Amino acid sequence: MIVTFHVQVSNLREKPIHILFYGIVISTIVGCGLIFSSFVGPVQPLMIEDCINGVDDDGDGLVDLNDPDCTCELLSPVSLIPNPSFEESTCCPTERSMLNCAVGWVQASEPTTDLIHPCGWVGWNDHRPPTPFPDGEAIIGFANGRINAGVDPEYNWKEYAGACLLSPLRANTTYRFQFDIGFTNELLSPRLDVTFYGTTDCDNLPFGVGDPDFGCPTNGPDWQILGVRNVGGRGGAEWVNTEITITPDEDIHAIAIGPPCERSGANNTTYYFFDNLILADLRSFQFQISEVNHPCADDFTLSVPDERDVTYQWFKDNIALVGEDAAELSMIYGEGEYQVRIINEGSCLLTESFTYKIPVIENVLNVTLCHDGFFELGETIITEPGNYTDTLKNANNCDSIVGLTVEVLPELMDSVVGKIFRGETFEGVEDFSFNSAGTFDLNLMTDLGCDSLVHLQLEYYDVYFPNIFAPNSDGPNNRFVISGNEDLSEIKTLDIYDRWGQQVYSGVNELSSDYNGWDGTFRGTLMEQGVYTYISTLEMDDGNIRQFVGSLMLMK
């Protein structure tokens, strides 16, 4: 086929003109009024990007949304809250309570919220925020109740952040407050009724000045609760994206966000984090991507609102998912950035990206085993000390990386030596009791549930109380002396009485260096032969003080 091609060019500055024949580009320089013709061969038309077929149609190396031919208006709600992710700052936080560094934010309550940023202060050691942060490098942290050792619990300690809105919420208009809240774990960050407060005047910020026990904003005038969302984590350190829908009945000019008004009942300080606080007209959120089922579930997918007369097309990492043209994605195509192109009444709209990343929960466990015990980590039976790691599936089918440090106790054996006086009961080993000397093997259980063998050797104390002495003799028995071995720590008192009850001797600290007992005299005169009564208190090596009463015969 012979094709004659005439081109009339006028009013153009000189520039190359490219025409594609047989896949060959022919170029020439033309000027005003130049005419060229008589090209022979089949004509191949120029291609344009299709945008929804996953193919580089125009040969420029760019596919679908990566190609500038496929640009659409981005659907992105603009927050009425200033500096919604706390990224704009006038200073780097060097310690807690420095929310004042974040532009547009106010320490709404006397108990102060904390600005956390890797440029400086990165949070409390025992309340570390989950990472990565949802949006940027800055977040805030806040407490609900405060429990400190040695100080009375402050159950009404409540920390709030506040801001004057860029433009007010109008009465009888519906808005959505969408935000990310961070949790440390179930103990330090249990479920919380996140509460959104509003006031008609920015001058009402801050509130409760000078009163750390003031509590929530509504404990004072001109504040109201706009909405509440009960939200919790999935067990580990993580961020949860959630929202509160509100319709104020009067114009709202300032807001505060934080814990509910009810007193905290926790036995420890509970602490949370905020990021990416988006407050906008509900229509701005019309086509936001939402999760369907848990991110780790086999049937997890994504969806946008299903509207009439709307054409949908899903993309992953800017490449079209061919055939995915419904409001709900039929399946998930792995981790990545998901978007939906929406054609509505001739306009081309593109949702914000939804980042899908399969959650991985990390846990660190410390386990102490009995010498003959074991621990099951997945399908592994552990009996030896050391460090172990395994990846398990939790209740939501998420990977849970478990780091395990195992300590194995040696076989627990102990020997105990005890002493009693005759007639006493020994109760020095748990619930066992013994009232006679001997050797005993006891099987006990420790607090960890480990078997423990205790070998008990029980003996009688060796303390001698003479029952007769002769003061006028020259032998060793001429004094009344209480004696014992090293088990006898001290004869604290010794009192002797005649048969009429008259005290004839009183001694203390009878084991002093000059102790030599009773010589049988009273006021320098030798007492009559007969029976006398003694009362003595002894301290033994177990630290216990015992009293003994007996009789003795004085012989002449």
> How many domains is the chain partitioned into structurally?
6
Gap between the Cα atoms of 353 and 173, Å rounded: 27
Q: What are phi and psi of 52, to 5 degrees?
A: -135, 20
Query: pLDDT value at position 141?
Result: 97
Question: 273 and 293 share a domain?
Answer: no
Gap between the Cα atoms of 91 and 339, Å rounded: 36
The reply to whether 83 falls in a domain is no
Question: 137 and 202 share a domain?
Answer: yes
Secondary structure (DSSP) of 480-526: B--EE-TTEEEEEEEEEE-TTS-EEEEEESTTSTT---B-SEETTEE
Query: pLDDT value at position 45?
Result: 52
Query: pLDDT value at position 431?
Result: 80
Question: 163 and 206 share a domain?
Answer: yes
E strand residue ranges, 117-174: 139-146, 154-158, 161-169
The reply to whether 14 falls in a domain is yes
Query: pLDDT value at position 10?
Result: 34
Residues 415/428, Cβ–Cβ less than 8 Å: no
Question: 436 and 298 share a domain?
Answer: no
For the chain of 556 residues, list the mean pLDDT of each consecutive stretch of 10: 40 36 41 43 65 93 94 89 96 96 96 96 92 94 87 90 97 95 92 97 96 94 96 87 95 97 89 97 86 90 91 96 96 96 88 88 83 86 90 78 88 86 86 90 80 90 92 82 89 93 87 75 93 95 93 92
- With tokens 């407490």, the residue in question is 143
The reply to whether 92 falls in a domain is no
Domain membership of residue 444 as a residue range: 412-460
Query: pLDDT value at position 510?
Result: 66
Query: pLDDT value at position 346?
Result: 79
Query: What is the CA 452 to chain-centroid distance, rounded?
Result: 36
Burial of 233 (0-12, 13-18, 19+ CB in 10 A): buried
Question: 386 and 535 share a domain?
Answer: no
Question: 212 and 194 share a domain?
Answer: yes
The reply to whether 91 falls in a domain is no
Question: 105 and 249 share a domain?
Answer: yes
Question: 111 and 228 share a domain?
Answer: yes
Query: pLDDT value at position 18?
Result: 38
The two structure tokens encoding residue 215: 């509590």
Question: 446 and 483 share a domain?
Answer: no
The reply to whether 260 falls in a domain is yes
Question: 353 and 293 share a domain?
Answer: yes
Given 285, 300, 316, the domain boundary residue is: 285
- Residue 172's contacts (CB-CB under 8 Å, 6 or more residues apart) are 247, 248, 249
The reply to whether 327 falls in a domain is yes
Question: 382 and 444 share a domain?
Answer: no
Whichever domain contains 178, its CATH number is 2.60.120.200
Query: pLDDT value at position 224?
Result: 97
The reply to whether 338 falls in a domain is yes
Burial of 480 (0-12, 13-18, 19+ CB in 10 A): buried
The reply to whether 493 falls in a domain is yes
Question: 157 and 185 share a domain?
Answer: yes
Q: HEC states along 281-326?
A: EHHHHCCCCEEECCCCCCCCEEECCCCCCEEEEEEECCEECCCCCC
Query: pLDDT value at position 512?
Result: 61
Whichever domain contains 353, its CATH number is 2.60.40.10
What is the pTM for the complete model shown? 0.52
Residues 339/315, Cβ–Cβ less than 8 Å: yes
Whichever domain contains 467, its CATH number is 2.60.40
Gap between the Cα atoms of 219 and 216, Å rounded: 6
